[in-house]
Amino acid sequence: MKKKRTYIIVFILLFIIYMLGFKSINYSISSMLLPGKLDSYPYLNEGVSSEHYEIKFLYTGLSNIDFDTKSMNTIVETAHVNDETLGYYKYNNQGELLDSFRTDSSFVTNFYPGGTLFGKDYYVEWAINGDKTKKPFAGFLNMDFKMDAAVWDENFQKFYAAADFVHYYPSENWHYLTFYFRINGTWTALNTLENDDRIYQDMSSENKLDFKNFKQKGNQFVPLKSSITDKYPLLSYKHNNNYEGIKYNWEGSKEPITLNYFKKEFIAGEAAYTNIPLSWGGTGYFTLKYKNELLNFKEVGAKDIGFFKKAEFHINLYTTPQPWFNKTELAFINVSYTSSLVDRGGEGLYVIKRKR
């Protein structure tokens, strides 16, 4: 028994020595192989620039980004978690902050592609025309859900045909939808009948609920998708955002952001009980290709231990889609860290803009 215990102790000591050596050797080799030219790459929040473009920090936390196809402005939506409100920030094509707007608890919807925010008995068109006034609806029908079904259908068909913008939003219990119709420059609201059998859920739809045979109308704003995951930001009003997305090749030379090197610096994940290392944490050195220019930066990420494992990063790039890409100067980068990574204070949303 004593001999067996001795073997166990020796094994544990050898394992500890091996693990210490395993880590140290990997850190040393990783540092030695780092190309010298990459060592000067700044973190995103330290200021990144090329000849004509620069990257600047904007906000910490969740964000959503919408491009105005008429004014060429961009609306950035951020969540103020402590007081449960949303902030909206309007930037022009040069990246200058033009104006901002903040919701309160009386708002019932967040941003829509038409650019209008809706409250319980009003609407605000600040994103479109800068007006922060809460304007009353031209009418709000079926608020008490007592409208006759035939009368409801007659009103609905009339409003839908006359409106240039149509949006709808589900109630908290999902028993009905509220339709919003813009007719001759003003908005009219109409509740559906409760539990109308035309209300349904389509998991492939970008809406929480849909209304059979009638789609929303009017898209002045285009929500931006990530070029990395092909998904909308977490704060997006788009509903079908839970799919896996694309598998981004960080080392692909044709990708908009290319990983040049991953430097191992710490253990990011360990097996339960045994503490056997499962993944490295460290710094990735990147090149962003934007408007025929190269912007170099570094950010933290992780890589599973193994010869053929790829490094992973929570970095997303949002650019204006065609046909507007060549007409705009702005793009955005969002960075987040998992709990296993070192929080170096760089999380948040960044803007890529032309130097002034």
**pLDDT 10s digits, 271-322:** 666 666 777 888 999 999 999 999 999 999 888 887 778 888 999 999 998 8
So what's the pLDDT on residue 23? 55
The answer on 162 and 246 residing in a single domain is no
Cβ atoms of 335 and 348 closer than 8 Å: yes
Looking at 92-101, 191-200, 332-341, which range is the least confident one? 332-341
Higher-pLDDT residue of 332 and 23 is 332
Residues 6+ apart with CB under 8 A from 217: 163, 164, 165, 166
Whether the predicted pLDDT of 18 surpasses 60:
no
Residue 341 lies in a domain: yes
Residue 144 vs residues 129, 163, 176, 274: alpha-carbon distances, Å:
32, 23, 12, 62
Residues 6+ apart with CB under 8 A from 213: 198
Residue 81 lies in a domain: no
The answer on 42 and 27 residing in a single domain is no
So what's the pLDDT on residue 17? 47
Range among 10-14, 78-82, 94-98 rated most confident? 94-98
Nearest-Å Rg of the Cα atoms of the chain is 26
So what's the pLDDT on residue 339? 67
> In the chain, how many domains are there?
3
Confidence of residue 30 (pLDDT cuts 50, 70, 90): low
Residue among 348, 297, 279 nearest 39 (CA): 297
Q: 127-159: per-residue pLDDT in tens?
A: 999 999 999 999 999 999 999 999 999 999 999
The answer on 131 and 171 residing in a single domain is yes
Whether the predicted pLDDT of 41 surpasses 60:
yes
Whether the predicted pLDDT of 68 surpasses 60:
yes
Determine the residue type at 316.
Answer: N
Cβ atoms of 115 and 165 closer than 8 Å: no
Cβ atoms of 75 and 87 closer than 8 Å: no
Confidence of residue 10 (pLDDT cuts 50, 70, 90): very low
Looking at 64-73, 211-220, 222-231, 237-246, which range is the least confident one? 237-246
Q: 249-259: per-residue pLDDT in tens?
A: 888 888 999 99
The answer on 214 and 230 residing in a single domain is no
The answer on 292 and 203 residing in a single domain is no
The answer on 44 and 12 residing in a single domain is no
The structure tokens listed for 127 are: 């994103």
So what's the pLDDT on residue 143? 95
Q: Which residue among 168, 192, 218 closes a domain?
A: 218
Residues 6+ apart with CB under 8 A from 162: 181, 183, 184
In whole angstroms, give the CA distance from residue 175 to residue 199: 9
Average pLDDT over all residues of the chain: 85
The answer on 300 and 234 residing in a single domain is yes
Whether the predicted pLDDT of 33 surpasses 80:
no
The answer on 22 and 120 residing in a single domain is no
Backbone CA torsion sign across 11, 17, 18, 20: positive
Could you list the residue range(s) of the whole structural domain that residue 208 is in?
A: 114-218
Residue 344 lies in a domain: yes
Whether the predicted pLDDT of 201 surpasses 70:
yes
The answer on 301 and 213 residing in a single domain is no
Can you tell me whether residue 82 is helix, strand or coil? helix
The DSSP bridge partners found for residue 140 are: 189
Cβ atoms of 287 and 294 closer than 8 Å: yes
Q: Which residue among 180, 203, 218 closes a domain?
A: 218
Question: Average pLDDT of 37-44?
Answer: 90
Whether the predicted pLDDT of 209 surpasses 90:
no
Residue 45 vs residues 95, 181, 285: alpha-carbon distances, Å:
17, 43, 14
The answer on 241 and 192 residing in a single domain is no
Residue 102 lies in a domain: no
The answer on 271 and 208 residing in a single domain is no
